[in-house]
Chains A and B, each alone.
Chain A
Amino acid sequence: MVRVLINVPKTARRGEVIELKVLISHPMETGQRRNDMGQPIPRDIIHSFRCTYNNELVLDADFYPAISANPFLSFTALAEESGQIVMTFTDDHGVEQTESRAITVA
């Protein structure tokens, strides 16, 4: 489990465009670097990120090694009804992590 900071409004008005922000604790090792012994350091990045809102797609992203360490992503969703905003990301070891936040739409 890596540390994740998610910023999702707890409440929204129906039809409102809401801003979603996520920061993930990860080195995003590019695979381009060498260690002090001259050996290549293997690539280790979060390569995919997906966000859904009540199981409907908000954003589906591919990250490449050019995404900064401790990746930050900001995007928007359309708030239609109360429910769950779920964010899932997968790293090069195949480890998938899921975080979800509840939103109340009035």
Chain B
Amino acid sequence: MKGWLALAALILVHAAQAAEPHSGYQDASPATRAMQDNDSENPGFLWVQQGESLWSTAPQPGGQSCADCHGAPATLRGAAARYPAFDAGLKRPVTLEQRVNLCRTEHQHAPKLLQESDALLGLTALIGLQSRGMPVAVQTDGPMQPFRDEGQALFTTRMGQLQLSCSQCHDQLAGQRLGGSLIPQGHPNGYPLYRLEWQSMGSLTRRLRNCLTGVRAEPFAADSPELVAIEIFLAGRARGLVIETPAIRP
């Protein structure tokens, strides 16, 4: 009887752990965590530094820089924690990358920055850093609800030649191993982040494309509504975790 109670307690504790969002930081090795913890050893700050110089430089001669409108980057404290966010004018949610590019095309009269370019990673890393330590606070109700629901549907849909859904690995098998790697819960709270495998900084879009090709599925196009929907669902799922940008992951 005692044994059964202990087992039941263990299962309950386990279930509680599974329900609790768990940052990839906690799964990383002490060496990888140390790399993230110390700003002067975190290579993500090379991109933050580039973001800082772009922030105060007008992309078009005689035009406006980010700083001309926003002031110091610190005025955007909390912004990255709220993205993707609903744009009332466009009547759809936009990601932080898309917001930066909307600023460029609408206010700075400059061409869009390419997805995964060092410039866009630099600006989003700088903006993300301003929210470091703040909880993920993306709206998932109201006008965001249908997009979040679409994201959830995509997250639980089997895809690709391997016929695996995101949820099968990152909900049901999180904490177990695939090859030598721990399967993380797959939270978006550190992006853009420096991945040791990439030997570079990358966006959440790059990570999602990576997962999709991993299950032998055709990746969604950059800027596609599907990717935005998945980002919104992931943000809602990560509620309670804090922003770690620029994080380090293996």
- In the complex, what residue of chain A is closest to B200 when comparing beta carbons? A69
Q: Is A23 within 8 A of B40, CB to CB?
A: yes
In the complex, the answer to whether B199 meets A74 with C-beta atoms within 8 Å is: no
A76 at the interface (CB under 8 A from B): no
What is the interface residue range for chain A against chain B?
Answer: 10 to 19
Interface centre among B40, B41, B50, B199 (most CB of A within 10 A): B40
A7 is contacted by which of B40, B46, B199, B200 (Cβ under 8 Å)?
Answer: B40
**B199 and A23 within 8 A (CB):** no
Number of B residues, CB within 8 Å of A: 9
Q: Determine if B105 is an interface residue (Cβ-Cβ < 8 Å).
A: no
Q: Are B49 and A5 in contact (CB under 8 A)?
A: yes
Task: Please name all residues of chain B whose beta carbon is closer than 8 Å to the beta carbon of A7 when the two chains form the complex.
Answer: 40
Residues of B42-67 at the interface with A, using a CB-CB cut-off of 8 Å, are: 43, 45-46, 49-50
Q: Which residue of chain B has the shortest Cβ distance to A27 in the bound complex?
A: B199
Chain B residues with Cβ under 8 A from A34's Cβ?
A: none
B200 touches A23 (CB 8 A): no
Do B43 and A70 have beta carbons less than 8 Å apart? yes
**Beta-carbon contact of B199 and A5 below 8 Å:** no
A3, A21, A27: the one within 8 Å of B41 (CB): A21
B46, A5: Cβ atoms under 8 Å? yes
- Among B40, B50, B199, the residue within 8 A (CB) of A70 is B199
Smallest beta-carbon distance B146→chain A, Å: 39
B45 CB contacts on chain A under 8 angstroms:
5, 23
16 A-B residue pairs with Cβ-Cβ distance under 8 Å, sorted by A, are A5-B40, A5-B46, A7-B40, A21-B40, A21-B41, A23-B40, A23-B45, A25-B43, A27-B199, A68-B199, A69-B199, A69-B200, A70-B46, A70-B199, A72-B41, A72-B43
Instruction: Name B's A-contacting residues (CB within 8 A).
Output: 40-41, 43, 45-46, 49-50, 199-200
> A3-B46, A5-B49 are known contacts; what are 10 more A-B pairs with Cβ within 8 Å?
A7-B40, A21-B41, A23-B40, A25-B43, A25-B46, A27-B199, A70-B46, A70-B200, A72-B41, A72-B43
- Closest 6 pairs between A and B when the two form their complex, measured CB to CB: A69-B199, A7-B40, A70-B43, A25-B46, A21-B40, A3-B46
